[in-house]
Amino acid sequence: MTSYMPPSERVWWKTPIGRDEVLWIGIALVWCLVMFFMMPYWHIYGKQNLSNEAYQTNAIQFQAKVDAMVAAHQVREEAHIPVVRPPAGSDVYMLGRLWQWYPILELEKGQSYRLHLSSMDWQHGFSLQPVNINLQVVPGYEMVLTVEPDQAGEYSVVCNEYCGIGHHMMLGKIYVTEN
């Protein structure tokens, strides 16, 4: 007889389970239930998951929206990248492309904005620091989230999905100013 073939008189579901196995199965079951019921709590009170929208788009359409916003609301330029100050409550657009976030945004503290994000080439990660907003930005999709800055200052946008040789330089900025 080999270990591949159990004895024919043995029925596996009638084999007694050891006390240690029952203990570990019980601990695993309790932990699964705790985690299952904590997920809604984390979503609502822990602000772990952003409530956002996603729409299909293409690079040409999204680039046109970004260019229109830059043309209408550019206030200055920083390192050859336009700084855009859109009106409060408006839709603002930011795109990721090898290896930069474009344009730099200047928002007002206490005002709400709909931030539209898309990628022109590869999958990028949008990580707003130090606020801890993280999204995957994928080509062909326009991610939309509502932001309302509550503190003035300079925020960094970091790509947290490896996107190639210049990934470590893919940084952007969002300035938040007092009214």
pLDDT digits (tens, 9 = 90+) for 41-99: 877 777 655 667 888 999 999 999 999 999 999 999 998 999 999 999 899 999 999 88
Mean pLDDT value of segment 17-27: 91
User: What pLDDT band is residue 179 in, cutting at 50, 70 and 90?
Assistant: confident
Q: Count CB-CB contacts under 10 A for residue 146.
A: 12
CATH of domain 53-177: 2.60.40.420
pLDDT value of position 82: 94
Higher pLDDT, 133 or 43: 133
Inter-CA distances, 14 with 1, 11, 84, 107, Å: 20, 6, 71, 67
Q: Are 50 and 145 in contact (CB under 8 A)?
A: yes
The tokens describing 42, both together, are 């984390």
User: What pLDDT band is residue 1 in, cutting at 50, 70 and 90?
Assistant: very low
| Overall pTM > 0.75 | no
pLDDT value of position 130: 86
pLDDT value of position 133: 84
Domain boundaries, the chain: 53-177
C-alpha to C-alpha distance for 156 and 169, rounded to whole angstroms:
12
Higher pLDDT, 52 or 161: 161
C-alpha to C-alpha distance for 107 and 30, rounded to whole angstroms:
46
pLDDT value of position 9: 61
